Structure 1
Amino acid sequence: MTQPVIGIFGGTFNPVHIGHVRAAIEVAEALELAGVEFVPAACPPHKNGEGLLDFALRLDLCRAAVAGLAGFSVNPLEADRPGPSYTCDTLAALAAARPGERFCFIMGMGDLLGLGCWKNGFGLGRLADLAVHSRQGQGIETFCAFLTDNGPAMGATPTPDPAVWTLPDGHILHFVAVARLDISASDIRRRWRAGNRLNGLVSESVLAKLLTHTDALQAGWDRPLSA
């Protein structure tokens, strides 16, 4: 019997939006994942903290975003971890806390392309399976070109299927084409500062929570912020 695999979807989620949820659903369906856990980063290492909503609020927004989605949940693992939220540490902590379970870390194509700048980025495939979802203008060709250059550093080996590469310790690297929703958290923050409606960009449950935390949004978002 094939071992069930749990998807791990990490990110800043500032805020979580329907593009995040839709991508997670499509990856879960394509790879037949047993479930997906959203894992908000408490202290994103590549952000300086400006324009970042409080972790507890981002956690609560994620819970609202996946409420009612069978198999989807939010893992507050980062709440009690000091220092920057490095993915390699998160995956190692999950493996230590839940021996015998198999995980698949879900990332966007932009994350894959920047993996060389992450702490132990090329070693993530030794900790879990990896699933890379496409983005506009960057599909399977970009995926394969990256692995041609960086596969040896990751221990990745091609298979007859260009969307599937093997990784050390029996892990697998997948490319998953997903429908592109042109939504970004930075654009949502820009629209909020401009006083525009966020309907259709975030779920109604997330929007309702945002509207009850306007003071927190003003403190976190009411200033220019790079994406």
Structure 2
Amino acid sequence: MVDKVANVIEPEVLTELFGASPKRKIGILGGTFNPPHLGHLIIAEQVRDQLDLEKILFMPSAEPPHKKVKKTIDGTYRSAMLTETLKGNDTFSIEDAELKRGGKSYTYDTIVELKQKNPEVDYYFIIGADMVQDLKNWYKIDELIKLVQFVAVNRPYYNLDTSYPVIGVDVPNIDISSTLIRQKVKHGCSIRYLVPPAVENYIESKGLYKNEENSDGIPE
């Protein structure tokens, strides 16, 4: 464990700190993506730009171990919506390691797998500021911080104080969540401009989130 308090770091400072690394720098944005929305894209682009990352991998989880309620729609639907969401951006792509593995999606297991496949890559794992205080409860966190660099994006009412090494990145506060979108669909409300048009069409065509069974449970 590293005794360090995360602070928002200016882009020019980041360039000086990390620009000399010979390894490829790739970000990972994990989550259920149930469904993916414009907030995810804004976070990913801001982190990619400010940390000068080569690309961002969007990594849908199979069963998120930290969620109290693990109800979510099948990964096939979530992966298809992500594919539509990421079209047109060559620096964004899907990493389906956790969906392929199935079961509880522990970040430690995933990063070990990715590092074994790609030893030339330094991974930057993106989390919200609301998750920073919970890092102490993550599976094998002391081993995990040796394998990956955590990046925390700001959220209202949360600070980034932590004993773990976390880079803070300032992003626009966009109050959109997957929970909000599912609730709007369930109640017949518009989700236009909250998700990409192709995702809106996909949700409608598949009849997703219209019943209570798959519209509740997974925040974000």
CA distance in 2, matches of 1:193, 1:100: 45
**CA positional deviation for 1:82:** 3.6
2:105 pairs with one of 85, 91, 94: 85
Matched-pair contact (CA < 8 Å) for 1:53–1:220: no
Partner amino acid for 1:217?
Answer: Y
Q: Deviations over 1:61-100 (max 9, x none)?
A: 1111111112110111112214200111111111011122
CA distance in 1, matches of 2:193, 2:135: 31
Residues 81-160 of structure 1 correspond to what in structure 2 (within 5 A)?
81-138=101-158, 142-143=159-160, 146-147=161-162, 151=163, 154=164, 156=165
Matched-pair contact (CA < 8 Å) for 1:189–1:221: no
Partner amino acid for 2:83?
Answer: R
Partner amino acid for 2:114?
Answer: L
Q: Does 1:192 align with 2:213?
A: no
User: 1:75 corresponds to which residue?
Assistant: 95
Q: 1:83 to 1:123 in 2, by over 3 A?
A: same
Higher helix share: 1
Q: Does 1:49 align with 2:70?
A: yes
Partner amino acid for 1:92?
Answer: V
Partner amino acid for 2:150?
Answer: L
TM-score scaled by length of structure 1: 0.81
Matched-pair contact (CA < 8 Å) for 1:7–1:35: yes
Structure 2 unaligned spans of 5+: 1-19
CA distance in 1, matches of 2:38, 2:29: 14
Aligned length: 198
CA distance in 2, matches of 1:45, 1:193: 25
Q: 1:222 to 1:41 in 2, by over 3 A?
A: closer
Q: 1:189 to 1:100 in 2, by over 3 A?
A: same
User: 1:168 corresponds to which residue?
Assistant: none
CA distance in 1, matches of 2:60, 2:186: 23
TM-score scaled by length of structure 2: 0.83
1:29 pairs with one of 38, 49, 56: 49
Runs of 4+ aligned structure 1 residues displaced above 4 Å come to 219-224
1:183 pairs with one of 170, 176, 183: 176
State the SS of the aligned residue for 2:89: coil
User: 2:217 corresponds to which residue?
Assistant: 225
State the SS of the aligned residue for 2:145: helix
State the SS of the aligned residue for 1:174: strand
2:200 pairs with one of 194, 198, 207: 207
Partner amino acid for 1:71?
Answer: T
User: 1:161 corresponds to which residue?
Assistant: none
User: 2:11 corresponds to which residue?
Assistant: none
Partner amino acid for 2:177?
Answer: S
| Structural RMSD (CA) | 1.9
CA distance in 1, matches of 2:218, 2:54: 35
Q: Deviations over 1:154-186 (max 9, x none)?
A: 4x4xxxxxxxxxxxxxxxx31100001110111
What is the percent sequence identity of the aligned residues?
A: 29
Higher relative contact order (CA 8 A, sep 6+): 2
CA distance in 2, matches of 1:12, 1:211: 19
**CA positional deviation for 1:117:** 2.2
CA distance in 1, matches of 2:169, 2:91: 19
